[in-house]
Structures are given as C-alpha cells and as structure tokens.
Amino acid sequence: MTFDIDKRLQHASQVIREAGKLARGFFDNRSELVVKLKGVQDFVSQADAETEDLIASRLLGEFPHDGILGEERGRRGGDTDALWVIDPIDGTANYVRGLPYWCVAIALMVQGRIELGLIYDAVSDKLYTARAGHGAFCNGKPISVSGMQRFDQACLGIGYGHGEAPGPHAKVIDNLLAAHCQYRRLGSGLLLMALAAEGALDGFYELRMKPWDALAGLLLVREAGGFTNDYEGRGMPQAEPVLALTPALWAPFAQAMNVTLPLYSAARPVKLRAGNV
C-alpha cells in the first residue's frame, strides 16, 4: 500500500496550527484550567486531552485507516502501516505554571520509519516541519544544525523525565560541566530538539524518552543535518535514550560523557511495522 506523504504533511501542518491555537487559548486562560497529577511532578490538564482529541479527530477524518498513538489516549484505530504519534502538549508542567516553554508535536511513522515530524511553538508561532529525505524547515524556511566543532564551547539541551532517579541525571550534568560544555533545561525535550535543529543549541540529550516525546524531534534534527542515535531501530520503544547532536560533537560527546549509542542510519532496516505497535 502506498501513502501520500505530501498530502499528510500539508494536512498535519494545518491541524497542528489549529491544535496550537486551542492549546494557546487554554494557556491564556489557565486560571480556569482543570489540572490533575498522573504522578510526582507529572501534570495533565484538560488542555492536553482536548488538544489530543482535536488532532486525532482531524487526522482520522482525513485519513480514516491510519492509526493514532497519543500520550493521553493511547492507541486507537489503524488498519495500515501508517501511525500518527501525538504529544498534545510537551512541557505541561511549564504550561500549567504559565511558563512559555511548551509545544505541540505530531510525527508520522510508516512501516516503522519516521516520515514526518512537526513541532509547533504556539507561543512564538514557529512551526517546525521535516519530511524524511526532504530537509527541515521553520515557518517554511530551511534550517540546519549548528557548525559547532568544539565540545568545550558547545551548549546542549538536557532533558530529565518524571520519576527518573536523580543520580544518573546528576552524573550527566557533572560530566558536561567537567568538559566545559554548557547546558539548558527548559522542561520540553521536543522544543529543545527544535532549537538544536535550527542551530540555537548544539544538541540534546535525555536518558529516557517515550515515542511521543521524541520522534518528531529526532526527524527534525536528522533532516537539519544532525546526527542522532537509532532510537526506533528495534521497533517502537517504551522509553529509550535520545541523543541528537551537530555531527562534529558526536565523538567528543561519547568521550566526555562515557556514553556510546548506536548512530542512526537511514539504510538500517527496522524490525517492527508501525501498524503493529
């Protein structure tokens, strides 16, 4: 079965802007927002659920045989190898506090490969898009990773997930600072990966990320000319490390951090069809 990726990109670009407008409306009136806790420091709001429902409804309305995997609602539909992976609000803890570091994200996997990645920063009205083999863009203009050559002059985005043990994360920070590498932690891994893709940061690292937190950003960095680890190579993971860097920093990162992850290659076959996730 063939899939019209261009049509899906065009439609998803419209949908994510509509979803961002909805989420921004809740954000601007957050004093009335219903917020719950899924776990320690793990917030979920009415906005998360309604934004995901809007995205799923619009995508399935246009592509009724595609599948949906969302952070809040889980898996639904799908009798083909096309799977949309949705994070309605990445950075909910920021969102409910009124901090502007959050975004909406959509990725499309076809037969286990990431074909589309979209990240919308609704506060700044910046839409990042990538299609496999066609480059990365912000509001329609091409973007690329930084040309940073030296790890001791670099600045990386760092993520830290809910419920993670503090020790390994503290070790990451210790190693970075010992190597004179700066870091930023905004509370939205996808937003940090978008910033890496456009060269504002020199890369991103997090010890454990789920698919909806990672896929759109991974494709964006790859299509912007960066290197990433082979996150999805063994099929759709539950939670795996994510590393995305400007190419010259790949080896210095491994040496400084004592971390070796398999480098993504578009030629490497995947072992799990997206429709079977």
**Residues annotated as binding site?**
71, 87, 89-90, 213
Identify the sign of the CA torsion 206, 122, 33, 59. Answer: negative
Dist. CA 37–CA 206, nearest whole Å: 22
Is residue 67 within 8 A of residue 274, CB to CB? The reply is yes
Distance in angstroms (rounded) separating the CA atoms of residues 108 and 5: 9
Bridge pairing between strands 82-90 and 67-70: parallel
Which residues are annotated as part of the binding site for Mg(2+)? 71, 87, 89-90, 213
Q: Rounded distance, CA 101 to CA 253, Å?
A: 26
Scan for tokens 């910033």, then name that residue. Answer: 195
Question: Cα dihedral sign for 201, 207, 70, 162?
Answer: negative
| Residue among 182, 164, 165 at smallest CA distance from 173 | 182
Distance CA(159)–CA(26), nearest Å, equals 25
H or E stretch including 6? helix 5-28
HSE on the CB side for 154, CA within 13 Å?
A: 31
